Amino acid sequence: MAEWGLQAIIRPNQYDHQQDDCFGSIDIKKEYDQALLFCFPHLSFQNNHHATTNNMQADDLNQLYKPFYSVPPADADADDDIRINRHRFHDPDQETQRDQAHEIKKFSGSASNTSQLAPKLKKRKNQQKRVVVQVTAAGLSSDPWAWRKYGQKPIKGSIYPRSYYRCSSSKACMARRQVEQSCTDSSIYVLTYTAEHNHPQPTRRNSLAGINRNRLKLTPKSPTNSSDVGKTVTKSKGSQVHSPTTISASSSMEDEVLQQSNMIKEETTFYNKCDINHGHDMMMMPEINDEECMVFGDDFFEGLEDLGRESSSYYSSNKQFPNVLGRESSSYYSSNKQFPNVFC
DNA sequence: CGTTTTTGACCGGCGC
DNA sequence: GCGCCGGTCAAAAACG
């Protein structure tokens, strides 16, 4: 917990611009606090945060925001483990976040109607409200939520793959987390949180099974045979990733992350040679620059109060609920019997 | 046995 | 329409 020291970074110009142009009078500070609370409810940072933001002057904001575009100071202490950037470009009142398909359609329409808001930025389907956080390996291990990895993809312009996690506490929880290692500083990890947890924060991990897989598998199988070439992990042309050990979201994540860092460092020289033309893509937080990054609005915490009553039996049942949530019908989830009551 | 990770396949948005 | 790309699915394997 202690290592989740917080340094919030706000982009003043864009902030003001978007607030004025897109959202009228929005209580930015309020929603910012909510986003921080969502991501790090265990931090008890709120008092400090209030003090920080209340006293934050424009110059301070500019100074704080600079690290997003360059490697942070090497002497950053534990309090710099986390950096948060938030942007707004979508009215939270128009988002339910319950149906991504609907969101996609809405965004498509919104994008065409408000293209002037982001003239050079593309609106992709996943551009929903999100919180981007920079953490160190130590910070990664302190995430109180239970995450289950469901995918990993090489990202164009990044030498490191992006790992996709969903909340493992409940099948119905739409919370997602993306973990991606910084191109410029392998000790920095960029976390992108999307959607909201619809349940209380778990008090323990679901299970320890499988969490140490990579530590024992020192020679993980890699897609080296011809049949693997060109498939998912190596599909990204020109930036083939050697599929480094996945960043685990489990309780042993810190060790695994450190292991991954060492593994990746061995490959860094090779990647640097291959990606010298991507300097503009290798800033600390490419998502900040290439996409609009959003944060959860007031609707973000919708339903949390109701769900607070469900905590005691949240992780117990293994009964499956095929097709309860459309495609969310896989059997690997520890579905709880109550989530249909919660969501349906 | 329950849970997580791995990873090839698939899907849909987007640009050309 | 096609290809690229990011995100997700789901079967198999791994792990406690």
Residue A124 pLDDT class (50, 70, 90 cuts): very low
Give the nucleotide at minimum CA-to-C1' distance from A178.
C7
| Distance, CA of A245 to C1' of C2, in Å | 34
| Distance, CA of A150 to C1' of B8, in Å | 13
pLDDT tens-digit profile of A208-265?
A: 666 555 444 433 333 333 333 333 333 333 333 333 333 344 444 444 444 444 444 4
Distance CA A131, CA A49 (A): 16
Instruction: Give the CA diameter of chain A.
Output: 58
- Find and list the nucleotides of strand B having atoms within 7 Å of a protein beta carbon: 1-10, 12-15
pLDDT score of A205: 52
pLDDT score of A224: 36
Instruction: Select the more confidently predicted residue: A176 or A243.
Output: A176
Give the nucleotide at minimum CA-to-C1' distance from A331.
C10
Give the nucleotide at minimum CA-to-C1' distance from A236.
C5
Residue A289 pLDDT class (50, 70, 90 cuts): very low
| Distance, CA of A59 to C1' of C8, in Å | 42
Answer whether A202's CB lies under 8 Å from A146's CB.
Answer: yes
- Residue A107 burial class via C-beta count within 10 angstroms: exposed 0-12, middle 13-18, buried 19 and up: buried
Token pair in block for residue A226: 């011809």
Instruction: Select the more confidently predicted residue: A309 or A104.
Output: A309
Give the nucleotide at minimum CA-to-C1' distance from A322.
C10
pLDDT score of A170: 77
| Whether pTM exceeds 0.75 | no
Instruction: Select the more confidently predicted residue: A155 or A229.
Output: A155
Q: Which residue is nearest to nucleotide C10 (CA to C1')?
A: A330
pLDDT score of A128: 64
Q: Which residue is nearest to nucleotide B14 (CA to C1')?
A: A124
What DSSP character marks residue A169?
A: S
Give the residue among A186, A183, A181, A159 at the shortest CA–CA distance from A270.
Answer: A159
pLDDT score of A209: 65
- Tell me the average pLDDT across A289-313: 39
Helix spans in A55-114 (H): 58-65, 100-113
